[in-house]
């Protein structure tokens, strides 16, 4: 039987150790032996994804849509939604809707009452062809602006009513309820007898 000498046994053991070390290094070090492998923690990735989703979430607004739609009512939409999206949310327009009289592209705001006009509204509200319900609101009657439901931009079209006074009107009615008469405007901060006189027959309440 072939028998290794003591020196030969030591050499074999050394070769085996070197071979084992080579195998270990082959799997531990990255290809090319440069740097260390990149470590990605899945938990951190998932957390970052969740944070991104949260940051992309939009604020919600609540609107009340009535008029020529299939399902009038109160709906929740994302901030920045347009009038047409409110109409879609309400099941779409009804057969008697007059969409030429409404700005479907106008952005909505929280608490906005939206009115989709009917074809018959052209006569009942004395609105000529080409005029548009700004914001889809039923804010005109006999050519007057209803200060109980007109939005800020509509109120700003009135003489003597700028951005601050328009917001004061909205704040007052949200806090105290609808105006019972046009004279109640005198209760709004910044509106006096002169301003009310200049409004004349341009406003109404109902």
Topology, domain 146-206:
DNA polymerase; domain 1 (1.10.150)
Could you count the other beta carbons within 10 Å of the beta carbon of residue 112?
21
Spatial neighbors of 58 by CB under 8 A, at least 6 apart, are: 78, 79, 80
The yes/no answer on whether domain 53-138 falls in CATH 3.10.20 is yes
Secondary structure of residue 22 in the 3-state scheme:
helix
CB atoms within 10 A of CB 19: 10
What residue ranges of the chain are covered by domains with CATH 3.10.20? Answer: 53-138
DSSP 130: T
All CATH 1.10.150.280 domain ranges of the chain, comma separated, are 146-206
pLDDT 10s digits, 48-101: 555 555 445 778 998 988 888 999 889 999 988 999 999 999 999 999 998 887
Q: What is the largest CA-CA distance in the chain?
A: 127
Tokens, residue 84: 């047409």
**pLDDT tens digits for range 127-185:** 444 444 544 444 454 567 888 877 787 788 888 898 899 999 999 988 888 888 999 99
pLDDT band, very low/low/confident/very high, at 26 (cuts 50, 70, 90): low
- What is the pTM (predicted TM-score) of this model? 0.43
**104 contacts: CB under 8 Å, gap ≥ 6:** 82, 83, 84, 87, 136
């Amino acid at each position: 039987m072939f028998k290794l000498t003591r020196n030969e046994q030591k050499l074999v053991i050394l070769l085996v150790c070197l071979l084992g070390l080579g195998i270990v290094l082959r799997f531990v070090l990255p290809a090319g032996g440069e740097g260390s492998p990149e470590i990605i923690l899945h938990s951190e990735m998932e957390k970052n994804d969740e944070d991104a989703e949260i940051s992309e979430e939009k604020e919600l607004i609540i609107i009340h849509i009535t008029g020529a739609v299939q399902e009038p009512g109160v709906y929740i939409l994302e901030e920045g939604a347009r009038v047409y999206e409110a109409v879609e949310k309400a099941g779409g327009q009804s057969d008697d809707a007059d969409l030429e009289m409404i700005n479907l592209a106008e952005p909505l705001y929280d608490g906005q009452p939206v009115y989709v006009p009917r074809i018959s509204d052209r006569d009942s509200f004395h609105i000529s062809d080409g005029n548009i319900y700004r914001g889809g609101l039923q804010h005109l009657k006999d050519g007057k602006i209803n200060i109980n439901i007109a939005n800020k931009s509509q109120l700003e079209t009135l003489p003597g009513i700028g951005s601050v006074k328009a917001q004061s009107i909205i704040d007052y009615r949200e806090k105290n309820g609808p105006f019972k008469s046009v004279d109640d405007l005198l209760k709004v901060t910044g509106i006096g007898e002169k301003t009310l006189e200049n409004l004349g027959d341009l406003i109404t309440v109902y």
